[in-house]
Chains A and B, each alone.
Chain A
Amino acid sequence: MSATTSSERVAECFAQLRASGRRALVPYVTAGHPSPDATVDLLQGLEHAGADILEIGVPFSDPMADGPIIQASSQKALAAGMTFDGVLAAVSRARLRIPTVLFTYLNPLLAAGRDALSRAADAGFHGVLVTDLPVGADASLEQWLGDGPLAFIRLVAPTTPATRMVEIAQHGSGFVYLISRLGVTGVRDQLPADLPETVGRLRQATELPICVGFGVSRPEQAQAVARLADGVVVGSAMVRAADESLDSAFTLAASLRAAIDTVSP
């Protein structure tokens, strides 16, 4: 284990990428999908295929921000018995070299207890992102997350006003996750036309690295996003590929990696 704290690993990762003129590939997977047994292999294989950071989702029974693909993956993972502790155990067993972000809805995180964040850090997580805890929603929980051992990654939406973008960035660390479009997670044909403008507004608001997700699925889309942002999150497309086979997920990750690497800053 390195001497840096868990939360610093995410910032360090982006500093290294910037120094080498590269953009981050950030695949999302639902822990326990396609099966609890496959999760460790999936995480290791995605690292090998060129992921810079992994977002690892805690399955939840009522994922209101997710579209059909990630909903189905959560149901499948829960039906197979995946739990919060199971997620931590899988990451611990995977012994990854790249930073990992715990991606969760609030309720399973609350149920995991006040020591959930330190247990996650001990298991090898470096960041945490809570889908349904927007800035200003709950001062004491936000303080718990902000003061904890993990980088607290906050979300910005296309509907977020510029003044609120500043506030969000001030209350977050690691990177800012920019939701590319209105709506839930899912595979879309096109990137939203106003994405460059939204990224531009967010750049004005913060110096934190910006990762863009929601609807990014194909290599050419990833390439277009990499021209604008510091990182590209691919969720539903990755989950759909993993549903076919682990190799499909690894092939997708490698093709996304190649596409992103054609972009020079």
Chain B
Amino acid sequence: MPAHDSTLAPSASDRFGAFGGRYVPETLIPALDELERAYDDARADPSYIADVEHMLNTYVGRPSPLSDAPRLSRHVGARVWLKREDLNHTGAHKINNTVGQVLLARRMGKHRIIAETGAGQHGVATATVCARYGMECVVYMGEEDMRRQALNVWRMRLMGATVVPVTSGTRTLKDATSEAIRDWVATVVDSHYVIGSVVGPAPYPRMVRDFQSVISREARQQMLEQAGTLPSTVIACVGGGSNAIGVFAAFIDDPAVQLVGVEAAGEGLETAHHAASLSKGTPGVLHGTLSYLLQDAGGQVHPAHSISAGLDYPGVGPEHAYLKDIGRATYVAVTDHDALEGFKLLSRLEGIIPALESAHAVSWLASQRGRWRADESVLVCVSGRGDKDVAQVSEMGILGP
């Protein structure tokens, strides 16, 4: 399973071109060495792989369906296919990774799990798998995000997790990540840190990619079976970039398949209020990895902004930085306003309420009418469902009076 054999992004290295690496305090180096050994050992062990697959199939509900989207297809002028990660248990792709990492932590004899969360989807997915295995779970969440995503906070608590409000810095995902790392530096002997995206120090970016690549391994086969062809274009939203890497991975070696990542343009790329690290950032080091980063000339990290808490991160996974630089993937950005239009569009045309994160991908797709021939197939990753966003969006009055 998790094996990803692309020649473009070597699994054994801690780098993606110049990007990635392990820029962390010395205290964590032995833990990262241990994690790397344990992961490489596990991915070669058929019993671990069988355990992960069993959980994905009987608990998460995989494989997730590939839906055709007839009304959206007419709207766009191409055959649109939706990879339905919104139908996973807990409502998003995040659980693909938490299953793999929590099972790995058990193998390593670690009984306490730490996680950071932005929108709350990764926190919920982590709390869920921890409940399933009776493990202690501590989730760090920015105070601002706890307010925006109160329902997810309640869900985590219901499942027995401790949710720690983070009041430092910008009180969002960036600071929750710093706080989770601070916990881990103190508890590294008995705790495992489940990073929720393809960010952080090696081996996290490749490990999380491997767990999320189940999305594209399924989708590639489903496209061949249901559409009879590979997609011309694969589209996914990018915050840290885990659902995007997950849906790109199995297509990277198909040169005819165009890969498009959609970042959050927030109030506009010309303003200071966006989260488009790849479109507008410069290389820098945050949370242990070298990648594109929103920062000022002095190397201070710039606060990100997005209507969607899950994209509200000033960095991005180092493999995306690499795919951008070698030209294998293209990165575009969609504003808060347009993401809301995408949110409405998928709900109206297909009866699927997407997460605000995924709505960025839908919105970009809808803006590209005329880009494809009518018989071309386009694959969009619906990374999560929008239930978590309904309260926030309903207050904005987008349905009119």
Which residues of A are at the interface with B, using a C-beta cutoff of 8 A?
A: 60-68, 71, 75, 78, 83-84, 105-112, 131-138, 154-161, 164, 168, 179, 182-184
Contact = CB atoms under 8 A, between A and B. Distances in A.
B31 interface: yes
Given A112-B299, A160-B30, A161-B30, A62 B25 contact: no
16 contacts: A62-B175, A64-B178, A71-B168, A84-B298, A107-B300, A111-B284, A111-B295, A138-B23, A155-B25, A157-B27, A157-B30, A159-B29, A159-B189, A160-B26, A183-B186, A184-B185
Contacts of B175: 62
A182 B30 contact: no
Contacts of B301: 61-62, 107
A107 B182 contact: no
B343 to A, nearest CB: 31
Interface in B274-303: 284-288, 293, 295, 297-301
Contacts of B169: 61-62, 75
**A-B complex: 7 closest residue pairs judged by Cβ atoms:** A111-B299, A183-B186, A157-B27, A108-B299, A107-B299, A61-B300, A157-B26
A65 B175 CA distance: 12
A68 B26 contact: no
Contacts of B189: 159, 182
Interface string B176-201: 00100110011111000000000000
Nearest to A159: B30
B287 A62 contact: yes
Contacts of A133: 23
Instruction: Classify chain B: how many residues form its interface, as a range.
Output: 35 or more
A160 to B, nearest CB: 6
B24 interface: yes
A78 B300 contact: yes
Interface in B102-135: none
A71 to B, nearest CB: 6
Nearest to B23: A132
Interface string B13-33: 000000001111111111100
Contact of A159 (B181, B188, B297, B298): B188
The DSSP consensus for interface residues of chain A is loop
A17 to B, nearest CB: 25
A1 B355 CA distance: 63
B174 interface: yes
Contacts of A138: 21, 23
B185 A65 contact: yes
B285 A157 contact: no
A159 B27 CA distance: 6
Contacts of B287: 62, 64
Nearest to A104: B299
A131 B25 CA distance: 6
Most A CB contacts (10 A, CB to CB) among B174, B178, B287, B298 go to B298
B29 A160 contact: yes
Contacts of B24: 132, 134, 137
Given A62-B287, A133-B23, 15 more contacts: A62-B175, A68-B168, A78-B300, A107-B284, A107-B299, A131-B25, A134-B23, A137-B21, A138-B23, A155-B25, A157-B27, A159-B27, A159-B30, A179-B27, A184-B185
Interface string B65-91: 000000000000000000000000000
Given A110-B285, A111-B284, A132 B25 contact: yes
Contact of B25 (A71, A78, A134): A134
A180 B285 CA distance: 26
B84 to A, nearest CB: 35
A66 B181 CA distance: 10
Contacts of B295: 107, 111
B300 A64 contact: no
Nearest to A109: B299
Nearest to B14: A137
Given A64-B178, A106-B285, A182-B187, A134 B298 contact: no
Contacts of B288: 132
